[in-house]
């Protein structure tokens, strides 16, 4: 990370967030935060309704672990982390899997 530098890390984080949000903005499950300016680039929250456990199970069976929502949203949202240690191909894989389901 030191060699890569904070500027490059920030840029990659934004690019990965845009990839994820662009997919979900055009998919049947939508981002919880509607205003694009208010969206977090590091934790992406998606409204998944009553299919949350199904989605988490499909992703888990393909080696991808996502979190659930908090409180009253525990069973109706997934949370996708977007941290520097995660590479773009991880999110491309997630998108590919969900595109087929």
How is residue 87 written in tokens?
């590479």
Determine the pLDDT at residue 1.
74
| Domain residue spans of the chain | 6-100
Helix (H, G, I), strand (E, B) or coil at 77: strand
Rg (CA), the chain: 14
- pLDDT tens profile 26-84: 999 999 999 999 999 999 999 999 999 999 999 999 999 999 999 999 999 999 999 99
The CATH code that applies to domain 6-100 is: 3.90.1150.10
DSSP 8-state class, residue 74: T
Alpha carbons 48 and 66: distance in angstroms, whole number: 12
Determine the pLDDT at residue 66.
97
Q: What is the mean predicted confidence (pLDDT) over 78-100? A: 96
Q: What angle do CA 73, 52, 16 make, to 5 degrees?
A: 90
How is residue 28 written in tokens?
């049947």
What's the predicted TM-score (pTM) here? 0.92
Determine the pLDDT at residue 2.
79
């Amino acid at each position: 990370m030191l060699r890569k530098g904070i500027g490059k890390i920030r840029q990659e984080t934004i690019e990965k967030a845009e990839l994820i949000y662009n997919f979900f903005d055009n998919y049947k499950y939508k981002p919880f935060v509607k205003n694009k300016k208010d969206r977090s680039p590091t934790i992406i929250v998606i409204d998944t309704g009553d299919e949350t456990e199904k989605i988490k199970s499909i992703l888990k069976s393909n080696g991808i672990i996502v979190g659930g929502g908090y409180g009253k949203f525990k069973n109706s949202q997934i949370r996708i982390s977007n941290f520097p240690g995660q590479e773009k191909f991880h999110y491309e894989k997630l998108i590919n899997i969900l595109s087929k389901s």
